[in-house]
Structure 1
């Protein structure tokens, strides 16, 4: 084939994917074929329920069911970032630099195994997020701007398990509140053609939070059917401007103005020291039940106190460890999740359950996706016969890091 042809471009991707094919085991559902290998069979077993719920609920909300002609949607769980890179055509450096953990491409949803990360990630919501991208791509023939694509995906990613519109993080709200106060919101024009080209990571994070609230605003003012109608009209060949005008009776600039006014009236959640939730790739697969390593801390004194506490705890001296951890906590607050969790573990060791429970509750408002905090809170709730609370915490861990045998034993007891 001629250089630069479609085949030449896709050949490396095809070869990389083919290298995994003999090792994948496939689980087939009415609408999906989920491929996984080795321990990721655990993720695949849970993923089928997530995917079928997403198909039914999100597909109905957006007015499009993309696998009704008998062709299942392929879902591939790759054991590491290198596998995802090869299957998507991205370079390993691009994957690691951008923090990409999943991609929707070639009528496939491709994710990295939670086992390839330092402490898991929201793999179920991520699958739902990529499924929304697939719906939007197929419904509109890829004819809507990336900012709206991402806004719809983020807004609807929680729909598989509950209501849409539950995915705005404390950090996202913090960025929005600051931008509104300073009148420094990023415009739709600045987000086009790529949000990845914004000047900083904080700008990109702000843009993602903004587009979530744009979709939220449309749904609140015009109903969820408005999103489905816009997608249908664009898929039929209308421009986004024309589709917006027909559905919302607003031009795009008018939508941006009404959304900005609504955002200025919003009562933002204020979570002190909220930080971005970042997926950290692991250097090598580790023990899913082990406590994560102490994270990097900007304040050297805080780090030194925390590190000394960690060393004391490893030497089975929890009371002495608590003294050092509490010094670090007094200086840093609940900003560092691993510090909080190490202190909570030490409290549990010396039977100070009330202190551990209160500390974890504070931390989870700031780090709602912290699987280690949920695990510790689940242990406390289970010990206190608080069945509903325990189920909630252990389920949160399962949807982040399903490889820990403790959560399966606990959930078997709780159900």
Structure 2
């Protein structure tokens, strides 16, 4: 977990030492996957009770582990192994101060234990980070975040999580009784401290969330240059939590990620859909078509132990697309009940045998039939679609415009766009339109140029010309918050208030810290006869402006 130039103000020696210890912990505790945690005993223990505690901790069955740990503590209060288990239990429960106390006691008995030292450091880092956060509760979740910086996220996050709880429960029959802990880290350094995910993991593989240690962790969309689908990410991580609960933490990585990607948008839909294809984004469609044509798939085995170890962002996204389409195939064959049965079978048998039992065919046939299923979809490449790359903000204010320009591949288009930007800044919108149009001729499928052109056209009240450019940008990159903000502007200007509200609400799902969203929404909701929502939007706007 090497954090590259994250501009974190800490000594190089400490950070290197911390990183090495975390890596050692990852090796010793099998923390090699960003999705879930497979702990093992710190030392081989013949006691069957210790083994049972390990099994319960692995499956996040904490009430059962609590009962057994209490018995072990009564019988062996000064055993380092028992203290380790007690500390891990408290760590999984989010009771970090108690976990630290038990680890200190264990280290006093056996100091020369590097995994224990590493866990103590991770626990300390987590405690130091989380104690600065404020908790907000809903019926089934406890959300911790930085209230000053990220307080506006709380109502949206809890609403999405509760919708996911109901939607995933309906699909998979899983309704955890204990409240699920969720931590939103305010920046990349804090996210690394609590999750072990590095800057490289965020920017190269898109790892903005993780579910392990019996909790969900994500990074604030404020920490990224253009935000990200942060609400879908929360839902995605909740899927991992549900999969652990339903399978006893026995699901392979590809099934974990495939299910999480397939079901992550389920919270958005009022009805349970059998043929959900939200995972087939433009870039995923293109990647799958290319994989089919060249017969060059990532393959399920290569996805172990984690997708973050794949070589390129394109390979990571292809792996997600493959896994989600395999889940799609199984849902089409056996329905959501079949997925539920598969997870149950994984507690009893290896994954290939479980799939064979549920599908009623050999595993080799499953892979062949899945690829035939993909071919039958008749997917087409979408010209201009590209894998989205995330950019973490540094301590210094970075030029978002410069970052956008770098994403335009054509040098001619980039230069024309830059000139258009300068003209637009000077109020020369007619000339800016001409330069953006020339840029678009050189790079006709650039969402960045399409959005810029649409913006200046709208400024000149040429709304009918602007709308097709925004629609095309949305088709090419449905995860760009700027597209939805510009659509909100356009619909507001043309008095299409229902569509304006829908576009701006979509923007909140990506980049909720843009004040323009709430300025427009307060007016739109008022026009739609929704005074309470208008009032909330105005309050959010004032809060953001005060923070600035």
Residue 328 of structure 1 is matched in structure 2 by 439
- State yes or no: 1:61 paired with 2:168: no
Whether the aligned pair in 2 keeps the contact of 1:34 and 1:44 (CA below 8 Å) is yes
Compared with structure 1, are the counterparts of its residues 39 and 45 closer, same or farther at alpha carbon in structure 2 (3 Å cutoff)?
farther
Residue 379 of structure 2 is matched in structure 1 by 268
- State yes or no: 1:159 paired with 2:159: no
Residue 171 of structure 1 is matched in structure 2 by 283
- State yes or no: 1:230 paired with 2:342: yes
d(CA) in 2 for partners of 1:98, 1:183: 23
Please state how far the C-alpha of 1:363 moved relative to its aligned partner: 1.1
Aligned-residue CA RMSD (Å) = 2.2
Whether the aligned pair in 2 keeps the contact of 1:115 and 1:286 (CA below 8 Å) is no
Please state how far the C-alpha of 1:217 moved relative to its aligned partner: 0.6
Which of 182, 185, 209 lines up with 1:102 in the alignment?
A: 209
Deviations 1:359-398 (A, max 9, x none): 1011111011111011111111122222232122111101
Whether the aligned pair in 2 keeps the contact of 1:17 and 1:86 (CA below 8 Å) is yes
Does 239-248 or 25-34 show the bigger shift?
Answer: 239-248
Deviations 1:122-164 (A, max 9, x none): 0000000000011112322322211111001000001111145
- State yes or no: 1:80 paired with 2:191: no
Residue 203 of structure 1 is matched in structure 2 by 315
Residue 213 of structure 1 is matched in structure 2 by 325
Residue 25 of structure 1 is matched in structure 2 by 134
2:390 is paired with a residue whose SS is coil
Does 181-190 or 119-128 show the bigger shift?
Answer: 181-190
Whether the aligned pair in 2 keeps the contact of 1:85 and 1:95 (CA below 8 Å) is no
d(CA) in 2 for partners of 1:3, 1:251: 49
2:184 is paired with a residue whose SS is strand
Please state how far the C-alpha of 1:406 moved relative to its aligned partner: 2.9
- State yes or no: 1:44 paired with 2:173: no
Compared with structure 1, are the counterparts of its residues 153 and 348 closer, same or farther at alpha carbon in structure 2 (3 Å cutoff)?
same
Q: Which runs of 5+ in 1 are unaligned?
A: none
Please state how far the C-alpha of 1:95 moved relative to its aligned partner: 4.2
Does 57-66 or 149-158 show the bigger shift?
Answer: 57-66
Higher relative contact order (CA 8 A, sep 6+): 1
Deviations 1:323-382 (A, max 9, x none): 1111110110132x3222222221112221111111101111101111101111111112
d(CA) in 2 for partners of 1:199, 1:284: 28
**TM-score, length-normalised on structure 1?**
0.92
1:103 is paired with a residue whose SS is strand
1:401 is paired with a residue whose SS is coil
Deviations 1:224-278 (A, max 9, x none): 111111111213x222223222221123221111111111221214421111122
> What pairs up with 1:8-407 in 2 under 5 angstroms?
8-37=117-146, 38-66=148-176, 68=177, 71-162=178-269, 163=273, 164-235=276-347, 237-284=348-395, 294-296=404-406, 297-335=408-446, 337-407=447-517
Please state how far the C-alpha of 1:6 moved relative to its aligned partner: 4.9
Q: Which runs of 5+ in 2 are unaligned?
A: 1-106, 531-548
Which of 1 and 2 has greater Rg? Answer: 2
Whether the aligned pair in 2 keeps the contact of 1:294 and 1:339 (CA below 8 Å) is no
Please state how far the C-alpha of 1:30 moved relative to its aligned partner: 1.4
d(CA) in 2 for partners of 1:46, 1:196: 28
Aligned length: 408
d(CA) in 1 for partners of 2:122, 2:385: 38
Please state how far the C-alpha of 1:300 moved relative to its aligned partner: 1.7
d(CA) in 1 for partners of 2:240, 2:502: 28
Compared with structure 1, are the counterparts of its residues 189 and 14 closer, same or farther at alpha carbon in structure 2 (3 Å cutoff)?
closer
Deviations 1:47-85 (A, max 9, x none): 11100111111133122223x1xx321111111111110
Whether the aligned pair in 2 keeps the contact of 1:51 and 1:128 (CA below 8 Å) is yes
Please state how far the C-alpha of 1:96 moved relative to its aligned partner: 4.5
d(CA) in 2 for partners of 1:35, 1:58: 22
Please state how far the C-alpha of 1:408 moved relative to its aligned partner: 2.5
d(CA) in 2 for partners of 1:21, 1:207: 32
d(CA) in 2 for partners of 1:364, 1:239: 42
d(CA) in 1 for partners of 2:338, 2:114: 39
Compared with structure 1, are the counterparts of its residues 52 and 383 closer, same or farther at alpha carbon in structure 2 (3 Å cutoff)?
same
